[in-house]
Chain A
Amino acid sequence: QITLRESGPALVRPTQTLTLTCSFSGFSLTQTGMSVSWVRQSPGRALEWIARITWNDDKYYTTSLKTRLLISKDTSKNQVTLTVPSADPADTGTYFCARTRVGGATRESYYYYMDVWGKGTTVTVSS
């Protein structure tokens, strides 16, 4: 059974570092073709993909937040961490992590989709 669970602080002050952890089981980030994504949802808004890390340590960030996010993995602990070094009230929302696996390939590339999601963790950035 594949499970993911997000954890982190419920409240963070502006300019503080926000660190979120995704703990997972049922798969390994050492498996070829495996990755983990983070998706954010601001209150009342749409889903927003923000970051992904792959089995071979490739990292991808959404363009608008590329300079503000850091994603890393600890394969020994089956964890992925998302760090926002200087949190802003606009970072308030629910953060989901999702297993992201290869769903197909062409000669040029592999294509990954998010198939199993955690329940999410809600963060408020406020003074």
Chain B
Amino acid sequence: DIQMTQSPSTLSASVGDRVTITCRASQSISSWLAWYQQKPGKAPTLVISKASSLGAGVPSRFSGGGSGTQFTLTISGLQPDDCATYYCQQYYSPLYTFGQGTRLEI
């Protein structure tokens, strides 16, 4: 199975900051990567698909990049509502795998 590794595990930032979360795949997954946001006690919501395509209704301060094995999720102009755990997930293989998550504290 493809392993997904995120860094950092926890990230502390302030309102207005620009933050970047990194996700690495154990083999090339082209651009078949999604990012999800999960708030405590809630279901995940889609942020980014195909590495850089913004999900429906997602603010433009979110952006995704990368291809192959290295990917990033960047949030520019951090807002209090962005406090959540973020997960990357590959869908190159039909056996999907998630990263371990990055908790963003604001």
A→B interface (CB under 8 Å):
37, 39, 46-49, 52, 60-63, 96, 103-104, 111-120
Contacts and interface: CB of A to CB of B under 8 A. Distances in A.
A52 B96 contact: yes
Contacts of B36: 47, 114
A47 B100 CA distance: 8
Contacts of A111: 32, 91-92
Q: Please indicate which of the listed interface residues B44, B45, B55 has the most CB atoms of chain A within 10 Å of its own CB.
A: B44
Interface of B: 1, 31-32, 34, 36, 38, 42-46, 49-50, 55-56, 87, 89, 91-92, 94-101
Contacts of A49: 89, 95-98
Given A46-B100, A47-B87, A115 B49 contact: yes
Contacts of A63: 1, 95
A48 B36 CA distance: 13
B96 A46 contact: no
Contacts of A61: 95
Q: Is the interface of B mostly helix, strand, loop or mixed?
A: loop
Contact of A62 (B43, B95, B99): B95
A104 B45 CA distance: 19
Contacts of A104: 31-32, 50
B44 A96 contact: yes
A52 to B, nearest CB: 7
B90 to A, nearest CB: 10
A39 B96 CA distance: 10
A43 B92 CA distance: 27
Contacts of A118: 43
Nearest to B94: A60
A117 B49 contact: no
21 contacts: A46-B87, A47-B38, A47-B101, A48-B98, A49-B89, A49-B97, A52-B96, A61-B95, A62-B1, A62-B95, A62-B96, A63-B95, A103-B49, A103-B50, A113-B32, A113-B89, A114-B34, A115-B46, A115-B55, A116-B46, A117-B44
